[in-house]
Amino acid sequence: MLCLQNLLKLIEMKNKFSYDNLLPHQNIILSVKVLLLMMFIFTLLRFVFYVLYSPQFYGVPISEIGLSFLIGLRFDLASTLLVGGLFLLLLNLPGRFKFKRFYKISIISLLFLVVIASIILSLGDIFYYPYAKRRISYEIFNLFKSIPELITIILNDYLVPLIIAVAVVILLGYLWFKLFGKYKSSSYKGIVNDLIYFILLIGVIVISIRGGFQLKPLRESYAFRNDNIALGHLSLNAVFTTLRTLNRGDIQSYNFIPMNEAIKSMRDLLKSPKEIYLDEEYPLMRQTLPETKHQNKLNVVIIVMESWPGNFAELETIKPFPMPEFRKLMNKGIYFSNFFAAGQRTIQGMQAVVGSIPNVVYDDILGSPIEQNFLRPLGVILKEGGYSTIFLHGARSGSMGFEAFSKLAGFDTYISKSDFDLNKVKDDGTWGIFDHFVFERSNQEFNKIKQPFLGLVMSLSSHAPYALPSGEYEVYDSTIANYKFLNSLRYSDWSLGKFFEEAEKAEYFRNTLFIITADHAEGTREKNIYELFKIPCLLYSPAFLNPDIISSVHSQVDILPTIIDILKLQTKHSSFGLSAIAGNNGFAYLPSGGLHGWIKGDWLSVGDFDKNIALYNYKTDRHLSENKLNLNPNTANVLRKEMLSYLQVSTYLLRSNKVYKSE
């Protein structure tokens, strides 16, 4: 009898929790409709953008245009849920109350206001695009300061578009409340149904805003699948770029000295008899002058060694010397004995090496809204000269955003950890593939790529936690300070030596310019500002360059113009540095927290925004123990003006998208 009663209860429960109880409730269906309408609106706005600026896309295959629209859906979905996700969650909270007429209409009405704001922002972005040459970004901070002026401009110059926009908003309002404002009674399907769909909705919102399951969250550079910047702008969404910019904050604007004086000072720093400046609005944009000699169609291979230091005098005291292979190369190439990193992180180094962009803004350019600016990176320049381009890094795909960055920088091929056969190579367990496997793969790729080519190889084994492939590479023990780093340094040096041992046998070797440098100096011990930034840099091309040591000051931003100079390219560029082989009196900007270092000639000046703090003759005082500011105040003031000019102009150009003029 008891069993029969239990069976009857189970049957009764099954009848109560029928298949209908698993179907989405009324508000979930409403949310899907809202989502689809918002996606349609954003796509329609993208179509308006395309029609208005269609001349930018002449000659671009329709398949590429279609792909930009398809990629744009990813940004539209993220934007939709960034502005509407909270309202959709409120609309689907567990409980009966969400079906009440007043509650639903209130949420739908508030969401409509957000949609209208998004449309207004998007339309403003479309009309502002010819001035900014990018989707709205840091301009949003000026918008809040200039509302009366903007209203005047709109009424005077955009009255007809304003009337059309108002009519569209009224029509949309009618459709919105016609579709979503109706009240329908709905049977409550229970708390289980509520929780299932609420949790699913949270998952959809989080994944959509993140842009998927990739290593790095969605950002501007994901819109740029190649170096055609206009196609990337077509894919982007103004709401997305605005919210990203607001989240990261404004770039600091500086006004230390009159801007015309600052620009003149910076131009004087960068001027070369081989170049002419082209445009007052884009003050760094210059053209290399034609030379009588033919261009040097050399392959270019840039090898960026992780955390390699430039303090060789100190390393020489360690036995055995941790960089014997690099020292052999130094004897056959042009070595820069006073070369400096642009920052203290890999991303900062890479943007300087590949893009000649200094570390002057609040944060790294990679991953920031500045990614959508018109810049002039090395890969783009060399591709115009007929070069094939390839970027190799043994880390996971998307690590530090290099995969997206490589496309922006003009690299056609990007090889990462996922492109290696993990049965044949070894992973360090943290960052990726050990260096000697990556260098071996690099030689293989360089052997088969069409020449001339640009290859960039980024090492990673000399990064904490300093893993080694095996115990045979443990040369130093715990009796030596910093022994773990030194072991990894010696291993990466050995890997570099193996690379050149194989490269010298290859057909491409004789016709290749190799540039070996570091992303930044290692940071495992306390250093002064000079040691924090000093890194090695070597130009190596035995068949083309005679060995030399250059003691003038240079930094990573000089690599791009140096390559242009060596190859004798007749091209336009907007480098923030100058050629390191032209006999110029170079400089280096060293940002370190609230302090700013400036090296030029024999002097290192250190100060903050308010005053000079120190002046050192770094060539005779490497430990920076003798502050000579009081003895040389005029020298310090000259250096300070150059540094402030460089900082002021650089931040202005990056913030206002005035680095390079699109054509």
SS3 sequence of 442-482: HHHHHHHCCCCEEEEEECCCCCCCCCCCCHHHCCCCCCCCC
pTM comes to 0.80
Q: Is the pLDDT of residue 642 over 90?
A: yes
Predicted local confidence at residue 144, as pLDDT: 60
Q: Do 550 and 354 touch, CB atoms closer than 8 A?
A: no
Predicted local confidence at residue 394, as pLDDT: 92
Predicted local confidence at residue 153, as pLDDT: 65
3-state secondary structure of 375: coil
Q: How far is CA 329 from CA 110, 506, 528, 567, in A?
A: 67, 17, 28, 21
Predicted local confidence at residue 137, as pLDDT: 79
Please name the helix (run of DSSP H) or strand (run of DSSP E) that holds residue 408, with its range, or none.
helix 402-408
Per-residue pLDDT band for 424 (boundaries 50, 70, 90) equals very high
Per-residue pLDDT band for 401 (boundaries 50, 70, 90) equals confident
Predicted local confidence at residue 64, as pLDDT: 92
Q: Is the pLDDT of residue 41 over 90?
A: yes
- Measured CA to CA, the distance from residue 60 to residue 69 in angstroms comes to 14
- Measured CA to CA, the distance from residue 53 to residue 130 in angstroms comes to 9
Task: Give the Cα-Cα-Cα angle 198, 201, 207 (nearest 5 degrees).
Answer: 145
Strands 512-518 and 286-288: unpaired
Radius of gyration of the chain from its Cα atoms, rounded to whole angstroms: 29
3-state secondary structure of 436: helix
Q: Do 241 and 137 touch, CB atoms closer than 8 A?
A: yes
Task: Give the Cα-Cα-Cα angle 282, 284, 287 (nearest 5 degrees).
Answer: 100
- Measured CA to CA, the distance from residue 117 to residue 220 in angstroms comes to 21
Q: What percent of the chain is modeled with pLDDT above 70?
A: 92
Q: Do 513 and 542 touch, CB atoms closer than 8 A?
A: no
Predicted local confidence at residue 598, as pLDDT: 96
Residue 648 carries which side chain, given as an amino acid letter? Answer: Q
Mean pLDDT of 406-429: 92
- Measured CA to CA, the distance from residue 569 to residue 239 in angstroms comes to 40
Per-residue pLDDT band for 183 (boundaries 50, 70, 90) equals low
Residue 273: cis peptide before it, omega within 30 degrees of 0: no
Mean pLDDT of 189-205: 90
Of the listed ranges 342-351, 510-519, 536-545, the one predicted with least confidence: 342-351
Of the listed ranges 19-23, 232-236, 439-443, the one predicted with least confidence: 19-23
Cross-sheet strand order for the sheet of 286-288: 275-277, 286-288, 572-573
Task: Give the CATH superfamily of 259-272+298-656.
Answer: Alkaline Phosphatase, subunit A (3.40.720.10)
Please name the helix (run of DSSP H) or strand (run of DSSP E) that holds residue 512, with its range, or none.
strand 512-518
Tokens of residue 404, six digits = 């997206």
Q: What mean pLDDT is reported for the chain?
A: 88
Q: Is the pLDDT of residue 520 over 80?
A: yes
Q: What are residue 300's phi and psi, to 5 degrees?
A: -125, 125
Q: Is the pLDDT of residue 347 over 90?
A: no
> What digits encode the pLDDT tens for the residues 569-625?
999 999 999 999 987 789 999 988 778 899 999 999 998 888 888 999 999 988 888
Q: Do 263 and 649 touch, CB atoms closer than 8 A?
A: yes
Tokens of residue 215, six digits = 């290593």
What is the separation, in whole angstroms, between the first and last Cα of the chain? 88
Per-residue pLDDT band for 186 (boundaries 50, 70, 90) equals low
Q: What are residue 266's phi and psi, to 5 degrees?
A: -70, -40
> What digits encode the pLDDT tens for the residues 288-336?
988 756 778 899 999 999 999 998 878 888 899 999 999 999 999 999 9
Per-residue pLDDT band for 362 (boundaries 50, 70, 90) equals low
Strands 453-458 and 388-393: parallel
Provide DSSP, 246-313: HHH-PPPP--SS-HHHHHHHHHHHH--TTEEE--SSSTT-EEEPP-SSPP---EEEEEEETT----HH
Q: Is the pLDDT of residue 552 over 70?
A: yes
Q: Is the pLDDT of residue 98 over 80?
A: yes
Burial per residue of 422-448, b for 16 or more beta-carbon CB atoms within 10 angstroms, e otherwise:
eeebebbeebbbbbbbbbebbbebbee
Question: Residues with Cβ < 8 Å from 371, sequence gap 6 or more?
Answer: 219, 220, 221, 224, 365, 404, 405, 408
**If you count them, how many residues does the chain have?**
663
Q: Do 518 and 305 touch, CB atoms closer than 8 A?
A: yes
Provide DSSP, 343-355: SSSHHHHHHHHHH
Q: Do 362 and 249 touch, CB atoms closer than 8 A?
A: yes
Tokens of residue 293, six digits = 């000699």
Q: Is the pLDDT of residue 101 over 90?
A: no
Please identify which residue in the block is written with the tokens 């360090």.
Answer: 428
Predicted local confidence at residue 289, as pLDDT: 86
> What digits encode the pLDDT tens for the residues 466-483?
999 999 999 999 999 889
Per-residue pLDDT band for 357 (boundaries 50, 70, 90) equals very high
Per-residue pLDDT band for 363 (boundaries 50, 70, 90) equals low
Question: Residues with Cβ < 8 Å from 51, sequence gap 6 or more?
Answer: none
Ranges for all domains in the chain classified under CATH 3.40.720.10: 259-272+298-656
Residue 606 carries which side chain, given as an amino acid letter? Answer: V
Provide DSSP, 207-248: HHHHTSSSSS---GGGG-SSS-HHHHHHH--HHHHHHHHHHH
Q: Is the pLDDT of residue 190 over 70?
A: yes
3-state secondary structure of 597: strand
Per-residue pLDDT band for 526 (boundaries 50, 70, 90) equals low
Please identify which residue in the block is written with the tokens 């200094």.
Answer: 358
Higher-scoring residue by pLDDT: 199, 21: 199
Higher-scoring residue by pLDDT: 549, 296: 549
Of the listed ranges 175-179, 302-306, 436-440, 655-659, the one predicted with least confidence: 175-179
Mean pLDDT of 421-441: 93
Nearest to 568 by CA among 296, 292, 273: 296
Please identify which residue in the block is written with the tokens 């030689």.
Answer: 443
Predicted local confidence at residue 383, as pLDDT: 94
Q: What percent of the chain is modeled with pLDDT above 90?
A: 57
> What digits encode the pLDDT tens for the residues 225-251?
876 778 888 999 999 998 988 887 767
Predicted local confidence at residue 164, as pLDDT: 80
